[in-house]
Amino acid sequence: MTNTTGDRGRSRPVIALDGSESLQGRALFVLSALTWCLDWLPAVDLRLVDITNEDVSLAAKVFSWEHGINLALSAPTDVESSMTGVDLYAAVAFRSAYHLRIQEAASSGIPVLLAMQFPETAWLTAAILGRRPSAFDPRLFAADLGAIVKRWL
């Protein structure tokens, strides 16, 4: 079993998921997508980062309990610890992704899986447009996530 970098000395990939639920973030959508990933989730370490909404925290705890999947939760104040050792950062956003940790991920060499609903002009790229169906369908976002992660397992 290998991870994305092959040099972090771990056999389990670490996946950080954006936990913001707001006008811009879609954490509950991401959590619902995880129900379509149950076949491979036990083989990875999951983190839900930047949680500011109690509903997201509660939903994540229920998901974890219901499916027996450990899901580490962190608030935006846990900046350093929540992205340390991450192999993939994944998020669904609305209109823009300025609130996400894309720059931090890029500077750390962490690949990003981003789906965006109704992107602003500044975010109209081939990658965003190509992933547009995944921004509206949790099953498709789960399939995109699985396509990346399953290569490492």
In a domain? residue 3: no
Which CATH number fits the domain that encloses residue 33? 3.40.50.2000
In a domain? residue 2: no
Which residues fall within 8 angstroms of residue 45, CB to CB, at 6 or more apart? 12, 13, 14, 15, 70, 72
Q: Residue 9 — very low, low, confident or very high, per pLDDT cuts 50/70/90? A: low
Q: Residue 51 — very low, low, confident or very high, per pLDDT cuts 50/70/90? A: very high
Among 111, 104, 106, residue whose Cα is nearest residue 78:
104
Instruction: Determine the pLDDT at residue 4.
Output: 43
Q: What is the pLDDT of residues 122-136, one digit of tens each?
A: 999 999 999 999 999
Q: Is residue 6 scored above 90 in pLDDT?
A: no
State which residues form the domain around 78: 14-149
Instruction: Determine the pLDDT at residue 10.
Output: 61
In a domain? residue 122: yes
Structure-token pair, residue 94? 């609305």
Q: Residue 79 — very low, low, confident or very high, per pLDDT cuts 50/70/90? A: low
Q: What is the pLDDT of residues 18-33, one digit of tens each?
A: 999 988 889 999 999 9
Instruction: Determine the pLDDT at residue 123.
Output: 93
Q: What percentage of the chain exceeds 70 in pLDDT?
A: 92
Q: How confident is the model over 82-105, as a mean pLDDT?
A: 93
- The number of distinct structural domains making up the chain is 1
